[in-house]
Amino acid sequence: MSQYQIAVIVGSLRKDSLNRKLASSVVKLAPSEFSFKQVQISDLPLYNQDDDANQAESVKRLKNEIKGAQGLLFVTPEYNRSIPGVLKNAIDHASRPYGQSAWSGKPAGVLGTSPGATGTAMAQQHLRNVLVAIGVLTLGQPEAFIQAREGLFDEAGNIGEGSKKFLQNWMDQYVVWVKKHAA
Ligand SMILES: Cc1cc2nc3c(=O)[nH]c(=O)nc-3n(C[C@H](O)[C@H](O)[C@H](O)COP(=O)(O)O)c2cc1C
């Protein structure tokens, strides 16, 4: 395959989200055969199983974007030692109706940043558990628990020098993983 379209799912709706910034800057470390699109999850209704037979347009859109992608990139904050509800809501929506999940078999990477020293480690671990349940093939190593400190991003919105080597290695391994598992 010569082109890889990656659906990026950011677990924060906040305007100045550090995780959205991370998502936007880390993709600049990918090769040109990879293109990335942040999918919208802010307009999804709260998941209700009663609606499975009649999914909202925003849910159909999300599912089409996931289905059309060769890979996934989750970039999430940690809320109370887990993933934000908005992210779980999106995952649940696109996993249904039963037997018609958009996620199955997609290769994925998981990243996250927080001002705290644990750098979303617990949220990422919770997310990995969920991704196993929906058949997503998640890159195991390297892990990337990123503390959001001064200098993580430069003025131009790139990954700052202090984290560049580490995240370039992460991206290189992610690219290999997606190429290996993309359908
Ligand atoms: C409801 C809530 C719970 C939070 N819980 C945690 C937590 O468990 N661990 C952590 O490191 N930071 C926690 N934080 C702080 C977030 O890491 C911080 O707000 C971060 O900037 C959120 O990501 P964002 O900038 O992408 O929106 C929490 C923030 C909120 C709003």
Nearest atom (ligand 1) to Cα of 13: 27
Rounded to whole angstroms, the Cα distance separating 81 from 76 reads 12
Contact partners, residue 44, CB within 8 Å, separation at least 6: 56, 58, 59, 62, 86, 89, 90, 93
Rounded to whole angstroms, the Cα distance separating 174 from 180 reads 10
How much is the pLDDT for 1?
A: 58
Q: Which of 25, 83, 114 to mutate to test the pocket of ligand 1 (most atoms within 8 A of CB)?
A: 114
Tens-digit pLDDT profile for residues 39-52: 999 999 999 999 99
How much is the pLDDT for 183?
A: 81
How much is the pLDDT for 111?
A: 98
Tell the residue nearest (CA) to atom 4 of ligand 1. Answer: 79
Tokens at residue 110, please?
Answer: 């998981």
Is the CB of 85 inside a 6 Å radius of any atom of ligand 1? Answer: no
Rounded to whole angstroms, the Cα distance separating 177 from 92 reads 24
Q: How far is the CA of 77 from the centre of ligand 1 (A)?
A: 6
pTM as predicted? 0.98
Q: How far is the CA of 86 from the centre of ligand 1 (A)?
A: 13
Q: What is the pLDDT along the chain (183 residues), one digit of tens a residue?
A: 579 999 999 999 999 999 999 999 999 999 999 999 999 999 999 999 999 999 999 999 999 999 999 999 999 999 999 999 999 999 999 999 999 999 999 999 999 999 999 999 999 999 999 999 999 999 999 999 999 999 999 999 999 999 999 999 999 999 999 999 998
Is 9 in contact with 17 (CB distance < 8 Å)? no
Beta strands in the chain (DSSP E): 4-10, 34-38, 71-75, 107-114, 137-138, 145-147
Rounded to whole angstroms, the Cα distance separating 41 from 156 reads 26
Is 148 in contact with 115 (CB distance < 8 Å)? yes
